[in-house]
Amino acid sequence: MRTINPNRLIFVGFSQLIRHLSFILFLIFAPASSFAIGVETAKIDSPVVAAAPPLVSTTVKDTIISVKSLGTQPDSAKLKQVIAIRLSTTKDAETFSTLYIDGIALPKLKPWKINAGDKILFFPLNTDVQEVLLNFLQSSPFEKSVIPVYFSVGTPKQALINNKIPVYVEVRQRIATWWIWLAAVVLIALAIAALKYNILKDDNNLYYSLGRTQLFFWTLLVLTAYIMICLKTDTIPDLPLSVLGILGISVSTTAVSKLIENKNKAGIPIDKNAKSEGFFLDILSDGSSINIQRFQNVAFNLFFGVVFLQKAFANHIMPDFDQNVLILMGISAGTYAGLKNTEATKEQSEPAKQTGDDITTPTTPTAPPPTSPPPTAPVATDPPPSSGDPQ
């Protein structure tokens, strides 16, 4: 019978124990290691696939990006101007065609223009806006005020988008127009009477004066534009500094011309035969020829006068000329006034009468005395016979 070595049994038992422990450890750690190996293999062998982005809500909140005036500063506006409201929305821009002022709807006010691509609404600040804003100034004693306004847009039933940033709007009190019409009638009557009584002529009422014509011209232009704007807007407009500058140039030109005329005036009777050569020739010439400085002054005043009226009637505000325009007109008026002292004086007076030793009495030529005929020689005659002589 074969005998069993005890040491061998111990070795075999220990080996079996090690094998079972190894198997148990394999069962515990094998899944994690296999997943790790599989992931590494996928990174090496498989192409990279982009992960799907997380789901984001596509709903965009309707907001007002900006409210800007097309005529003044971005955060301010005036009546008769246009404001541009830019929206951020996925809806059609025409959906927001009703303007709201501090929550008050203006259903009669329609957009002047709609930019559907850029989502911009253009609204004119007309009389409907003025009526609403004047309700805020009923107790204000000021003729002009600036108030913050919150514009909103939406449908006629409700405001859909509100603006959180105010726009400062200049508001003017309305005036009655009947007295403006009365002032216009009085102005026309005064102008006709002034022309009838030679307001444009010199002191002797003979020749038309360029200085007086320039002052009369700009006075009528400023008053006409001012009255027209009052009738169109029912408000009193502001006078820009450039308008005051033009009137100042006209007054200065007339004053200098008057001083030069008084300096050159002779204290002698007026020549009854002197007469005007016509309006345009009188203001363009000095009596001898047309002067370039007069022509330049007339041309500049006529051109900028037409521009002044065109801008006033188109925009319904008093035009504001650039500073360079005032400098140009000032130089032209100064050149005319400076050279007026060197112009030839128009013949207005009779020739001076001679006095004292300069007076010579005209002599009437006398006929020469009659000449007597030359004497003739006497004719010899025989004496008569005496009585004692024989026959």
pLDDT at 126: 85
Looking at the structure, tell me whether residues 74 and 89 fall in a common domain.
yes
In this structure, how many other beta carbons lie within 10 angstroms of the beta carbon of residue 329? 23
Structure tokens at 97: 């065609």
Residue 280 half-sphere exposure, CB side, CA atoms within 13 Å? 3
Of residues 171 and 305, more confidence is placed in 305
Query: Across residues 93-122, what is the average pLDDT?
Result: 90
Of residues 187 and 289, more confidence is placed in 187
Query: Across residues 162-175, what is the average pLDDT?
Result: 86
Q: What is the mean pLDDT of the chain?
A: 77
Cα-flanking dihedrals φ and ψ of residue 341, to 5°? -70, -20
Q: Is the pLDDT of residue 344 over 90?
A: no
Tell me the residue range of the domain where 106 lies. 63-172
Structure tokens at 73: 């500063």
Distance separating the N- and C-terminal Cα atoms of the chain = 270
Which residue among 109, 139, 172 closes a domain?
Answer: 172
pLDDT at 132: 86
Q: Establish if 371 belongs to a structural domain.
A: no
Max CA separation in the chain (angstroms): 272
Q: What percent of the chain has pLDDT over 70?
A: 68
**pLDDT category of residue 331 using cuts at 50, 70 and 90:** very high
Looking at the structure, tell me whether residues 130 and 182 fall in a common domain.
no
Q: Using CA atoms of 279, 284, 290, 294 in order, give the dihedral in degrees to the nearest 10.
A: 180
Q: Is the pLDDT of residue 377 over 80?
A: no
CATH number of the domain within which 163 lies:
2.60.40
Looking at the structure, tell me whether residues 88 and 156 fall in a common domain.
yes
pLDDT at 272: 62
Q: Establish if 223 belongs to a structural domain.
A: yes
Q: Which SS3 state, helix, strand or coil, does residue 17 take? A: helix
Q: Establish if 15 belongs to a structural domain.
A: no
Which residue among 141, 172, 203 closes a domain?
Answer: 172
Number of domains in the chain: 2
Looking at the structure, tell me whether residues 67 and 213 fall in a common domain.
no
Looking at the structure, tell me whether residues 291 and 202 fall in a common domain.
yes
Q: Establish if 187 belongs to a structural domain.
A: yes
At position 210, the amino acid (one-letter code) is L
Residue 42 half-sphere exposure, CB side, CA atoms within 13 Å? 8
Q: Using CA atoms of 101, 102, 104, 108 in order, give the dihedral in degrees to the nearest 10.
A: 0
pLDDT at 221: 95
**pLDDT category of residue 37 using cuts at 50, 70 and 90:** very low
The answer to whether the CB of 152 falls within 8 A of the CB of 212 is: no
| pTM for the predicted model, two decimal places | 0.61
Query: Across residues 296-320, what is the average pLDDT?
Result: 92
Looking at the structure, tell me whether residues 166 and 186 fall in a common domain.
no
- pLDDT of 131-156, one tens digit each? 888 887 776 667 778 888 999 999 98
Structure tokens at 94: 């025409």
Which residue among 172, 206, 225 closes a domain?
Answer: 172
Q: Establish if 154 belongs to a structural domain.
A: yes
Looking at the structure, tell me whether residues 209 and 327 fall in a common domain.
yes
Looking at the structure, tell me whether residues 77 and 161 fall in a common domain.
yes
Structure tokens at 23: 């198997």
Query: Across residues 290-316, what is the average pLDDT?
Result: 92
Structure tokens at 31: 């899944």
Rg (CA), the chain: 54
Of residues 55 and 6, more confidence is placed in 6
Of residues 355 and 287, more confidence is placed in 287
Q: Establish if 38 belongs to a structural domain.
A: no
Looking at the structure, tell me whether residues 143 and 196 fall in a common domain.
no
Looking at the structure, tell me whether residues 160 and 296 fall in a common domain.
no
How distant, in Å, are the alpha carbons of 5, 16, 269, 302, 361 from that of 356? 185, 171, 19, 52, 12
- C-alpha to C-alpha distance for 360 and 374, rounded to whole angstroms: 40
- C-alpha to C-alpha distance for 356 and 375, rounded to whole angstroms: 51
How distant, in Å, are the alpha carbons of 92, 166, 374 from that of 369? 124, 116, 15
- C-alpha to C-alpha distance for 211 and 60, rounded to whole angstroms: 68
- Strands 144-149 and 167-172: what pairing? antiparallel
Looking at the structure, tell me whether residues 117 and 186 fall in a common domain.
no
Looking at the structure, tell me whether residues 188 and 156 fall in a common domain.
no
Q: Establish if 47 belongs to a structural domain.
A: no
Q: Establish if 328 belongs to a structural domain.
A: yes
